[in-house]
Structure 1
Amino acid sequence: MVSEFILVGFSTFSRHLLPVFFLIYLLMYLFTLLGNLLIMATVWSDHSLHTPMYLFLCALSTSEILFTVTVTPRMLVDILSSHHSITFVACATQMFFSFTFGFTHSFLLTIMGYDRYVAICHPLRYNVLMSTDTCARLVSWTWAGGSVIGMTVTLLVFHLTFCGSNVIHHFVCHVLSLLKLACGNETSSVTLSVILVCLSALMGCLFLIILSYVFIMSTILRIPSAEGRHKTFSTCVSHLTVVIVHYGFASIIYLKPKSLHSMDSNTLMATTYTVFTPFLSPIIFSLRNKELKNAIKKSFQRKFSPLGS
């Protein structure tokens, strides 16, 4: 019976490349943490940003920080040490938290799309439909939903028996890589169940986001002036961009033909979702959201140019 797993990760790369990978991913990791913390601090300190949209953005930043802290340090350790081992319990814990925070992220993107739908399609009822209590309940449900899926997938996978190879060809306890190591008659049914749970949740979120933007675009196209259409759509650009990045990188990893890529390229492609997506998100929201960008500028001016303010 397997009591620990060996993470192959970056051990197949040339040792000359590993310090470069470590430095790049470390800087991206630190930037992700600092960028999301900056967004949260700015929203917290600026009362003009105490609106549902920025409440959801703070929750999204929190989920990205927790997801990054769960995954990236393990990856950095793997870069420094070839064939890094992880215990059975630690692997299960890591899988639970990565799924919880990852699906919470997807659910938050969905309710952010709903928030944009209400703001644009039902502006007169916005304060009623998106009250403080409603927003708090929506955020609570996203975390509860992420936790349920994380627990469900983890229990399904670690209910199996691992009695063969203990080598995971990944830098974290990746669910599909782990399922390949399971043995027993239940393996195929559990694999199918895990895929159905994940696809149903992700595709359900994507469908609701697309549906929200169908109604949003229908409303925007009825605005008579081009300036009005542009101003209204600009409030959705940052959210829509993050959705495209989130699902685009996920599709690259999970929908690519397995036979066309080497193990090294698979490892690098896996970092697009675990590292690049959280890294790009605070950049997109900071640069594409005019209110947030101006609030960050004012915050820096108050901190570093007190006389000028």
Structure 2
Amino acid sequence: LHYGTLLGSRACVHMAAAAWGSGFLNAVLHTANTFSIPLCQGNALDQFFCEIPQILKLSCSGSDYLREAGLLILSSFLSFGCFVFIVLSYVEIFRAVLRIPSEQGRHKAFSTCLPHLAVVSLFVTTALFAHLKPPSISSPSLDLVVAVLYSVVPPSVNPLIYSMRNQELKKALRTLIQWTLHHQQ
């Protein structure tokens, strides 16, 4: 993969600016909207951090839902744009990797990008489940578990997934699994 040739510093700056700018715009709009919501059912949430759907449950006004729905639609477009960009990037990466003539070169390239794909997939699937699950299966305890899944688990396993290329770590993990299985019997 010829990162230096294909992805110059100008392209990196543009991509970083787009990611930071869209993230900042999204955060500012949601934060401003959240602080403008009148709360009439107290200010205690059954969560360990303030998620917008939980805050809306404390709202006095029905119009807050409409305003937030508009922001969620905007957020969905931003998220979908990021998702499409990631998918297209991986299609191009896989096309480039498959053109590598040696099997060892292809293996090395895949072992570099597959951990990133695993982390992104873990985050996207848990976040989608958290925000798209039907209200009929929603409960405070399930909402809390799902929030932990998408906000804590991906960053926690991120170092483990990325370090799986390290042979010493693989050996230590194999030893730990064998020791655990041996002592459970």
Q: Displacement, 1:271?
A: 0.7
Please give the TM-score of this superposition, normalised by the length of structure 2.
0.76
Q: Structure 1 residue 212 and structure 2 residue 108: aligned?
A: no
Larger relative CO (CA 8 A, sep 6+): 1 or 2?
Answer: 1
Query: Structure 1: which amino acid aligns with 2:58?
Result: L
Specify every segment of 5 or more residues in structure 1 that has no aligned partner in the other structure, as ranges: 1-119, 294-309
TM-score between both structures, scaled by the size of structure 1: 0.48
State how many pairs are aligned. 168
1:209–1:137 CA distance, 2 compared to 1 (3 A): closer
* Aligned counterpart for 1:268 among listed residues 145, 150, 173: 145
The reply to whether residue 162 of structure 1 matches residue 24 of structure 2 is: no
**Distance in 1 separating the partners of 2:151 and 2:23:** 17
1:261 deviates by 4.8
- The RMSD of aligned alpha carbons is 2.6
Correspondent of 2:71 among 187, 194, 201: 194
Unmatched runs of 5 consecutive residues or more in structure 2? 170-185
Query: In the TM superposition, what is the alpha-carbon distance from 1:277 to its structure 2 partner?
Result: 1.6
SS at match of 2:152: helix
Question: What are the within-5 Å matches in structure 2 for residues 220-259 of structure 1?
Answer: 220-259=97-136
Q: Which of residues 158, 165, 168 in structure 2 aligns to 1:281?
A: 158
Mapped to 1, the partners of 2:46 and 2:32 lie a distance apart of 21
Aligned partners of 1:161 and 1:184 also within 8 Å: yes
User: Contact 1:246 / 1:277 at 8 angstroms: preserved in 2?
Assistant: yes
AA aligned opposite 1:260? I
* TM-fit CA distance, 1:276: 1.2
Pair 200,280 (structure 1): closer, same or farther in 2 beyond 3 Å: same
Provide the C-alpha distance between the structure 2 equivalents of 1:168 and 1:265, rounded to a whole number of angstroms.
Answer: 14
Shift of 1:132: 4.4
Pairing 1:1-309 to 2, within 5 Å after superposition: 120=1, 123=2, 126-132=3-9, 134-136=11-13, 138-288=15-165
Q: For each residue in 1:71-95, what CA deviation from the matched residue of structure 2 results, as whole angstroms up to 9, or x when unmatched?
A: xxxxxxxxxxxxxxxxxxxxxxxxx
Describe the SS at the equivalent of 1:160: coil
